[in-house]
Structure formats: C-alpha cells, structure tokens
C-alpha cells in the first residue's frame, strides 16, 4: 500500500482549510448581494462554490465588507465577473492571467461606482470592452496587461479624470495616444514598456506633464 507522508497530509489539510475559509467569506459577503434573478438557494450555493473554486484572495475593511477581490491564473469567466461586480463595497479587482474575460464581462463593471483599482489580463478584450472600462470614472489605478489596447482604446479612457496610475505595457499604441493621456489631470504614473511611441512624442508628453512619471 502506498503511504502518505505527514508533510503531504498537512499540505492537504491546509488546502482544505483555505478553501473552507474562502467559501465562508463568500457566503457571508458575496452571496447576499446576488439579486433574486439568480434564483433559489441551491442556485446561489452553486454560484458561491463556483467562485470559491477560483481560490480568490478577499480583503475586508474594518466593517467586514469585501473591498478587494483577487484571482490569479484562473479560468474566471464573464459570469463570475458579473457576480463579483455586484459587491457594493468593492474597491479593488485584480484578475491577473484570467484569459476568459471578454467585453461582456467588463460591461457588468459599469455599475461598480466605487471601484478604484482594476487589473485585467486577457487577450479577448477589445475596444468595446475598454469603452466599458472608460465609464468607471471612480478608477484611480488601471493595469491592462495582455490586453490588445490601441489608440482607439486609449481614447475611450479619456473620461477617467481620477486616474493616477495607468499601465499600457505591450499596447499597440502610437504617438496619438500620448496626446490623450496628457489631458488626464491626475495621472502621475504611466507605464509604456514595450510600446511603439516615439522618443519625440515622449519628450512632448514630459514637457506637457512634468508631474507624471513615465516608465518605458
């Protein structure tokens, strides 16, 4: 008979306990905000278990409300995002390496009035999805990693006047995008690693916005 080492048993116990904690937090703080459209208690429990399966990191404020939701390397879907977007106290949403997120999922975030930090990493997002992001005027930090952003996408972010930090690493943008970004009054940190903006455009941007630090 193949034996199980004490170390492996401990790891299994810790993993089970971690999942149990996540399920408990989701049951108390996420499921109650799911509206009646999601149906019976059994259906709500299924949603709860589905979210827990992604092993999210959830942060709470002093009142015990969910303020941050993070998922890493997951098949987190548009349906999952639609549920999480209904958390009224959500301030930070980090979906790192979640390649199944599409424009439809981002549309559900339009009502997230208190969202301050958003990180999306999916190649399935198009300009339409970025336009939905551009409606979240409360955003202060936006990281678009792996998202095929172009000049039209940057133009869609023009209403994010509270934006302090923007990462467009690997974006397919030209010098025209810097003219748009220069008009964001609170922008202080701009990441343009692996983009094709010219040195001349960067000089013009830095001259117009000496208060904004550019990383290339």
Q: What is the model's pLDDT at position 40? A: 57
Contact predicate 139/118, CB 8 Å: yes
Q: Which residue has the higher pLDDT, 155 or 19?
A: 155
Task: Tell me what the mean pLDDT of segment 31-38 comes to.
Answer: 45
| Count of other CB atoms within 10 angstroms of residue 200 | 9
pLDDT band at 53 (very low <50, low <70, confident <90, very high): confident
Contact predicate 58/25, CB 8 Å: yes
Q: What is the model's pLDDT at position 14? A: 36
The answer on pLDDT for 8 being more than 80 is: no
Contact predicate 97/121, CB 8 Å: yes
The DSSP line for 94-131 is EEET-TT--HHHHHGGGG-TT--EEEE--TT--HHHHH
Q: Is 19 exposed, middle or buried (0-12, 13-18, 19+ CB in 10 A)?
A: middle
pLDDT band at 152 (very low <50, low <70, confident <90, very high): very high
The answer on pLDDT for 17 being more than 70 is: no
What tokens were used for 13?
Answer: 């116990």
Q: What is the model's pLDDT at position 50? A: 64
Q: Which pLDDT tens digit goes with each residue over 124-140?
A: 999 999 999 999 999 99
The DSSP call for residue 21 is H
Q: What is the model's pLDDT at position 22? A: 45
CB under 8 A, 24+ apart: contacts of 173-176: 173/149, 173/197, 175/200, 175/201, 176/151
- Would you say the pTM of this structure is higher than 0.85? no
Q: Which pLDDT tens digit goes with each residue over 71-111?
A: 998 899 999 999 899 888 999 999 999 999 999 999 999 98
| Residue 159 CB contacts under 8 Å (≥ 6 apart), including other chains | 134, 135, 137
Q: Name the average pLDDT for the chain.
A: 84
List the one residue out of 82, 42, 88 whose CA is nearest residue 66. 88
**Count of alpha carbons within 13 Å of 59, Cβ hemisphere only?**
11
Q: What is the model's pLDDT at position 36? A: 42
Taking the C-alpha atoms of residue 192 and residue 124, their distance in angstroms, rounded to an integer, is 21
Tell me the β-bridge partners of 189. 165, 213
The answer on pLDDT for 4 being more than 70 is: no
Domains of the chain (ranges, CATH numbers): 52-215 (3.80.10.10)
Window from 52-56, 138-142, 161-165 with minimum mean pLDDT: 52-56
pLDDT band at 45 (very low <50, low <70, confident <90, very high): low
């Amino acid at each position: 008979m193949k034996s199980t080492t004490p170390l492996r048993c401990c790891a299994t116990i810790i993993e089970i306990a971690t999942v149990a904690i996540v399920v408990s937090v989701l049951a108390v703080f996420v499921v109650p905000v799911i509206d009646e459209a999601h149906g019976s208690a059994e259906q709500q429990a299924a949603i709860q278990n589905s979210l827990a399966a992604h092993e999210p990191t959830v942060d709470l404020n002093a009142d015990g409300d969910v303020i941050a939701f993070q998922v890493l390397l997951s098949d987190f879907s548009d349906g999952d995002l639609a549920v999480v977007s209904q958390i009224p106290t959500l301030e930070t949403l980090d979906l790192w390496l979640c390649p199944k997120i599409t424009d439809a999922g981002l549309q559900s975030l339009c009502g997230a009035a208190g969202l301050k930090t958003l990180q999306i990493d999916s190649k399935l997002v198009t300009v339409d999805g970025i336009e939905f992001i551009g409606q979240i005027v409360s955003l202060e930090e936006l990281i678009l990693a792996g998202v095929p952003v172009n000049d039209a996408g940057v133009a869609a972010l023009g209403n994010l006047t509270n934006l302090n930090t923007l990462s467009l690493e690997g974006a397919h943008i030209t010098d025209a995008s810097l003219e748009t970004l220069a008009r964001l009054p609170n922008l202080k940190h701009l990441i343009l690693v692996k983009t094709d903006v010219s040195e001349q455009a960067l000089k013009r941007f830095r001259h117009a916005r000496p208060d904004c630090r550019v990383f290339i």
